[in-house]
Amino acid sequence: MRSMKTKLQESMNQRFAYIQGHAALITWTLLDPRFKNTYLNSDEVDIATMTIENHMRIYADNSCETAGTSDQELSSSYRLFPYEKDGGLWDVHDKSTSQEIQSSDVSDKDDLSTHVKKNIEIYLAEPRLQRNADIYSYWDCSPFVSLRKVALKYLSAPPTTVSSEQLFSAAGQIYSDRRSNLLKENVDKLLFLTYNIRLFHYEY
């Protein structure tokens, strides 16, 4: 019995050890209000926080690019007026305004890390939802607007296939029109090899 328990533990560690360091799964667990950091250690919480921060930086950069494009188009349309001339006192004003906007963008990016950590701390301090609760309704009404986009990205249903579907798919690839003369016994052997040869770490 002890040998069986040891073998089972070794097999579980071999098959699922990668999950502990998988950033997407860690982030998914943290953003699920039913679990949060219940099964995560401090290092894993840091990994999830960094992942969320990276996504929020991407969202912020995209929104800044969109806003910058619209502002540029707007300013170019203003220049079509005949009474506005280049040069003079207003150039100094325009340059100083542009520098203020750029510096505020940099400070916003610097503050983003603090903002994310603060939101996550408040989010984790809230009580967890019941296991059968609707997590999407929670995020729709959640006050953590900045975390909502990332949560909806990670909490979407992943595409999955069951073993029977995978088996029929492999059979369809082996038993193609060009190989329609294969005997049933040979198809069974090829299917067996397809799914078991990887256990021997065979490289094609």
CA 145, CA 119: separation in Å to the nearest integer?
10
Element (H, E) at 78: helix 42-78
The answer to whether the CB of 162 falls within 8 A of the CB of 67 is: no
CA 80, CA 60: separation in Å to the nearest integer?
31
Q: State yes or no: pLDDT of 82 exceeds 60.
A: no
Q: What is the pTM for the complete model shown? A: 0.55
Owner of token pair 């982030």: 27
pLDDT digit string (tens) for 106-132? Answer: 445 558 888 888 999 999 999 999 988
CA 44, CA 38: separation in Å to the nearest integer?
11
Task: Between 200 and 144, name the one with better pLDDT.
Answer: 144
Average pLDDT, the chain: 74
CA 128, CA 164: separation in Å to the nearest integer?
36
Q: What is the pLDDT of residue 49?
A: 92
CA 105, CA 99: separation in Å to the nearest integer?
10
Task: Between 161 and 196, name the one with better pLDDT.
Answer: 196
CA 32, CA 10: separation in Å to the nearest integer?
29
pLDDT digit string (tens) for 156-179? Answer: 876 666 665 655 666 666 666 566
The answer to whether the CB of 191 falls within 8 A of the CB of 171 is: yes
CA 91, CA 86: separation in Å to the nearest integer?
7
Which residues are within 8 A (CB) of 38 and not within 5 positions of it... i.e. 6 or more apart? 128
CA 53, CA 50: separation in Å to the nearest integer?
5
Element (H, E) at 42: helix 42-78
Task: Between 201 and 145, name the one with better pLDDT.
Answer: 145
The answer to whether the CB of 38 falls within 8 A of the CB of 48 is: no
Q: State yes or no: pLDDT of 67 exceeds 50.
A: yes
